Chain A
């Protein structure tokens, strides 16, 4: 795992190594073990390395034998040993034991298409001297980040946006359309980011920069058009899943450092724990977050798994005060506004993992998306079922089965609950049927936009833009696959894997690996008949059927509870953090001009007087505060944050 950065200019000017040093220093947290830069005519590559495979070799940027190809690589290629064997047989000679060198040789052999052969998580750049072509690629699911921008014929790229901002030609400005998207979908629609002109390379895409022109294209696409019913028997599916997931875990244990597991207490991470134990002989190390708030805490189930598998366990206990204390740092790392504070505990947990001497952890991330675990899938199924017979009282009672862990929702009278879930109001043929209630609720936050912000967004419609981006056959997919697509293409890379994954983990130099997001597992899950994912209302049925016998029974039986953390109220526990008071003050809100100061004051007083009860207030508070932090840390006072990064910088060798 690493941080990368670089520039490529079409004028063939020599790149200043100081510039590269300045860019890579800002992502020192991603790779504190070593660093290097390669500066030449037309090209500059930089790398901050977290050594995991081939600790002594594998320095970067790395070149091939005749120095015609240079690579700076962030990530892991889990099938590198198999690819290496194949390349050796084809006559390639290797100077190191690293996975990075395998990518370089595979590129020599197969060019841009080589990424289709990789099983892993990556963001990398290869400079081809002979053709003067820069090639960038990002993994299929978007586990690892990669951003870029083009300014006067120069491509500037990096694992994090802050490296791009270290380049003097790059401007720093909030993109209000992106904010509108986050205040609807929780994420931006790639390639857009919250900063004007800064693009992310979307998951599953490659980029070519040649003669000053950028071309991006997908090399892999999510396809949830399930296979025809009865393509295979249930037993066949179970067998295939068993061997696929075991292999996904086997290759994810490849590391020259010890590997731990994040144990949430849910089904997915417990399956990962069970399978890891089959491969690893040492006592397994597990990590988790506990919450002081009972309704959020899952430690009973975590403990159940720890005892069952007799792992050596470590955990943090977290409350609202802890979240408020680190939230500004969290935004420095997420580089985007959040509508939930849940990334903060992950940030704290990563610190613990690092302090315990671990660099690599496996997680259960992705299983809910691809195997149908989330309540939003159940919600859509029940809403559809109700819409078919709106008069049926029995059907309406099923709404009570949704979100059993949300007390306030459960206290709602029937008719209000029905309205909340849009029973009888939503059009079942709408392509966004499953996500409509969530997105409409989130979009209520836009009432905090200032008149100025509203005016500039007057003609913008986020849903219409998303409609344009849907896969060509989307409207012919099964409705279950449609909702899975929305969750897996948007929220997974844009929030779960970044703000709640890569960013808070790498803030403390911890690499997370996600076996359920092995592309073979994803492709398998996408083709599964929906009835095997959610059998009636039993979520992740196939996972329970396949792995249930290996797990503590209480964990198989428990209903899905998503990971949640204390939200808006965290910021008003006394003593209130200085940044909260400053950034939410009417004067500051007026100066920054994105939000309406009087509306924000009313929201703040709801919190200070204890009248804020609902998810709408929570989301708004976190959304506004994180946007204000973003403006201050990245736009108005960027040099401050950037210079504090320098405190921990290593000595950078110039190649």
Chain B
């Protein structure tokens, strides 16, 4: 499954801003915007793993991967690509 910026933005707005729309761009840092509390990144990871069927390793927990809508979308695409390449059967099974 491919991650769309719109979908990720919806999650961030719903989950961290409780739907209270606030203007920010796809490249703004979620940390610097103050959206994440001490568990924010864990909530983000739970969502990505459930929604896109990827596994986020400890080594992936970097702002370069997770800290803006754009970074998240690119990270998920990369991860999904890797997973698809490694275990295509599982991917097919998940899409059924």
Name A residues whose Cβ lies closer than 8 Å to a Cβ of B: 406, 408-409, 411-413, 415-416, 419-420, 425, 440-441, 444, 447-448, 596, 598-600, 602-603, 606, 611, 613-616
Contact = CB atoms under 8 A, between A and B. Distances in A.
B41 A413 contact: yes
B62 interface: yes
B63 A599 contact: no
B71 to A, nearest CB: 13
A447 B62 contact: no
A602 B19 contact: yes
B96 interface: no
Contacts, number: 67
B38 A408 contact: yes
Contact of A408 (B14, B32, B42, B61): B42
Contacts of B63: 415-416
A408 B39 contact: yes
A299 B37 CA distance: 29
A599 B13 CA distance: 10
A463 B23 CA distance: 24
A613 B31 CA distance: 17
Contacts of A615: 37-39
Contacts of B37: 420, 441, 444, 614-616
Interface in B1-29: 14-15, 17-20
Interface of B: 14-15, 17-20, 31-32, 34, 36-43, 46, 58, 61-63
Nearest to A444: B34
A415 B62 contact: yes
Contacts of A606: 15
Contact of B46 (A416, A448, A611, A616): A611
B18 A611 contact: no
A611 B58 CA distance: 20
B20 A419 contact: no
Contact of B18 (A415, A425, A602): A602
Contacts of B41: 412-413, 416
A420 B34 contact: no
Given A419-B32, A606-B15, A447 B43 contact: no
Given A419-B31, A600-B18, 8 more contacts: A412-B38, A413-B41, A413-B61, A415-B62, A419-B32, A441-B37, A611-B46, A615-B37
A643 to B, nearest CB: 37
A425 B14 CA distance: 27
B56 to A, nearest CB: 11
A415 B62 CA distance: 7
B20 A447 contact: yes
A614 to B, nearest CB: 4
Given A413-B61, A419-B31, A611 B38 contact: no
A448 B61 CA distance: 29
A606 B11 CA distance: 12
Given A413-B61, A416-B36, A613 B43 contact: yes
A598 B34 contact: no
B17, B20, B34 — most chain A CB neighbours (10 Å): B20
Contacts of A448: 18, 20
Contact of A411 (B14, B34, B42): B42
